[in-house]
A and B are shown apart, each in its own frame.
Chain A
Amino acid sequence: MYDDPSARGLRESATFDRATIHAIQRAAETGVYDIRGWGAKRRLPHFDDLLFLGASMSRYPLEGYRERCGTDVVLGDRHATFPLHLDTPVTIAGMSFGALSGRAKEALGRGASDAGTSTTTGDGGMTPEERGQSKHLVYQYLPSRYGMNPDDLRKADAIEVVLGQGAKPGGGGMLLGQKITERVAGMRTLPVGVDQRSACRHPDWTGPDDLEIKIRELREITDWEKPVYVKIGATRTYYDVKLAAKAGADVIVVDGMQGGTAATQDVFIEHVGIPTLAALPQAVRALQEEGLHRKVQLIVSGGIRSGADVAKCMALGADAVAIGTAALIALGDNHPKWEAEYRELGSAAGYYDDFQAGRDPAGISTQDEELAARLDPVEGGRRLANYLRVMTMEAQTIARACGKAHLHHLEPEDLVALTIEASAMARVPLAGTDWIPGAGR
């Protein structure tokens, strides 16, 4: 159907490709920067650039489905009386009610609970839907403190102090007016319909010394019962992780630049932060040097899609992972059945990233009641639980092949890299060599 200009010998510029040309035209027409959802779309060194060395002569594999391969994880046993005991290391990342509908939050809670894992609130407070349906609920403590209150703090199973997100390290939240309905506005104490800009710095602490006191305050308020996480967007990860551990975090969440967002400037998403693959080994090294690896748990997020990604994170030293975008896709985001509606919105199934706009045909990133009603939280929860189980079984498949009786037994030694970049970042050898760029060999 479509004419392919390259067939006529025309050449597209690599520097000014069609998306770039479109962005310039859009900026010229509107005079405002592009705000969108999703995460970085550019190609980055990622877990796809790593491969596992399955067992053969020098290592024994485990029998698939017969020999046990554990997947459970305990999060937050450094200081908390009640750490989280999860059946799978795949957790659900913080996504706000406001960005997502109440039904979507409920579906996330149902799916996570069914699969024995945790889910997380977001920049907008705790809803009864998600508290009710979540066996393990992590309550985010963000710079905006929207909806923050001690009753919900006490209802939470863990507290996550958010310093930043991979999609926008150094940036605050954003929620555009079309999604600030009466309920969302009420929970955030904002006027209905404003284009909300949340703070990017916490209002009552700056720096690691203050954070230490802040963490103690949260522990005092909740009588030292709950694990306290610290979430950081990946930039100077080595130093940030050391400082977070020193400040007393029980769990550190590192979110790479591929990490999803509900609404951020495109320029921020694509140009600030480092890839998840680059951040993870830095975080592990920081914890190892402090003697805290496996004592302070590490959760990694940003572009996790499959059990292979999970296994690779474990092998590089993470204790668990978190998923945002993939969980939304499992609920039904970007499903081809909405193709016609995506096209009406100027997008297409597989490309839709206008989470900020609130017109989501799949009824997930919206506050419009009619659209939101399209998502059945029970069915959505079932789909998410299926997906979480598949990821867990995939990771087990790989771990068994590597002869490991628990996902946490996977180690860097099980990995090789396909590219020099990935090899340098992950600090595992380039496949077929014993060479790690920068490792002094």
Chain B
Amino acid sequence: MATMTTPAVTTTVDLSVQSVRDLNSALHKAREGSWHVTRPDGAHNLAVGLDAPLDVRIDGHAGYYCAGMNQHATVTVHGNTGVGTAENMMSGTVRVRGNASQSAGATAHGGLLVVEGDAAARCGISMKGVDIVVGGSVGHMSAFMGQAGRLLVCGDAGDALGDSLYEARIYVRGRVKSLGADCVEKEMRGEHLEDVRELLTAAAFTDIDPSEFRRYGSARALYHFDVDNSSAY
């Protein structure tokens, strides 16, 4: 029988002393517990491939692929993150207190990614079921080829939002610089207001009014090859 560790126990990993390999290896072996990562100094691949309901707090900036392929864990970064934050996440929660670089939440299948600041270009690229909530704005080509899931942006969106979109749903509160190929604005109905409310609650952005968001989705005009669409391919 495994011995129960009390949830109050927090393991600290100081990355100025220990390596990223030490950290990930320990996290892969753990089945539960709280972890505190200090002095990350922008290191790449922090807390990747987690597969248990761990609670990981990273104090400082993280590099590329922070919390990549996360399953079940809650990872909070008290700083900014590099490219591909929570890429291909399956479940769990990743929260970035600062800003996230390009391709945040890329191809993620599930779970919740919250970026409290801004997310750069290609936020939610090829998303496959994840929920992404961005407190600030997102850069160009966000939700490019988004297949499923929801992207909620409390600020503005850059150029070519939702280009070549499949079935992902996009909600934006601010200005959309331009829509990508086959992405159109759609009517906000009750179920969509409910979506927005749910996402804001999950992200704990409680002071924002859901009715201020607009909805964007696929016109589904590029789902089948058609000679008349050749300029859009």
Contacts and interface: CB of A to CB of B under 8 A. Distances in A.
Which of the listed residues A144, A145, A223 has the most CB atoms from chain B within 10 Å of its own CB?
Answer: A145
A190 B147 contact: yes
B194 to A, nearest CB: 22
Contact of A194 (B24, B71, B166, B233): B166
A194 B84 contact: no
A224 to B, nearest CB: 8
A217 B103 CA distance: 15
Given A195-B223, A210-B83, A221 B126 contact: no
B84 A204 contact: yes
B44 A150 contact: no
Interface in B40-58: 44-45, 48-49, 51
Contacts of B126: 144-145, 199, 203
Given A148-B107, A189-B128, A210-B83, A217 B44 contact: yes
Contacts of B109: 149, 189
Contacts of A151: 71
A191 interface: yes
B125 A203 contact: yes
A295 interface: no
The 6 A-B residue pairs whose C-beta atoms are closest, nearest first, are A221-B49, A204-B84, A31-B227, A145-B107, A204-B103, A150-B69
B69 A221 contact: yes
24 contacts: A31-B227, A145-B106, A145-B128, A149-B90, A149-B109, A150-B51, A150-B90, A188-B147, A189-B148, A194-B224, A197-B164, A199-B145, A203-B87, A203-B125, A203-B126, A204-B84, A205-B84, A214-B64, A220-B21, A220-B24, A220-B48, A221-B68, A223-B24, A223-B28
B45 A216 contact: yes
Interface magnitude class on chain B: 35 or more
B115 to A, nearest CB: 15
A189 B129 contact: yes
Interface string B80-123: 00011001101000000000001100110100000000000010
Contacts of A220: 20-21, 24, 45, 48-49
Contacts of A176: 225
Contacts of A267: none
Contacts of A134: none
Contacts of B125: 203-204
A145 B130 CA distance: 14
Interface string A140-183: 00001100111101000000000000000000000011000000
A23 interface: no
A297 interface: no
Contact of A221 (B48, B63, B129): B48
Interface of B: 20-21, 24-25, 28, 44-45, 48-49, 51, 63-65, 68-69, 71, 83-84, 87-88, 90, 102-103, 106-107, 109, 122, 125-126, 128-129, 144-145, 147-148, 164, 166-167, 223-225, 227, 233
Contact of B45 (A32, A144, A205, A217): A217
A177 B225 CA distance: 9
Q: Is the interface of A mostly helix, strand, loop or mixed?
A: loop
Given A189-B109, A204-B107, 13 more contacts: A32-B227, A149-B88, A149-B90, A150-B88, A177-B224, A195-B223, A204-B102, A204-B103, A205-B84, A216-B45, A217-B45, A217-B65, A217-B68
Contacts of B21: 220, 224
Contact of A204 (B106, B145, B225): B106
Interface of A: 30-32, 144-145, 148-151, 153, 176-177, 188-191, 193-195, 197, 199, 203-205, 210, 213-214, 216-217, 220-224
Nearest to A143: B126
Nearest to B101: A204
B138 to A, nearest CB: 15
B148 A153 contact: no
B51 A213 contact: no
A113 B106 CA distance: 34
A217 B45 CA distance: 5
A191 B166 contact: yes
Nearest to B46: A220
A86 to B, nearest CB: 27
Contacts of B164: 197
Contacts of A188: 147
Given A31-B227, A194-B223, A213-B45, A203 B68 contact: no
B107 A213 contact: no
Given A203-B125, A213-B45, A217-B48, A195 B69 contact: no
B90 A203 contact: no
Contacts of B65: 204, 213-214, 217
A205 B44 CA distance: 13
B181 to A, nearest CB: 11
A30 B63 CA distance: 50
Contacts of B225: 32, 176, 195
Contacts of B102: 204
Contacts of A204: 65, 83-84, 87, 102-103, 106-107, 122, 125
A203 B106 contact: yes
A145 B88 CA distance: 8
Contacts of A148: 88, 107
A193 B157 CA distance: 30
Contact of B147 (A30, A189, A222): A189
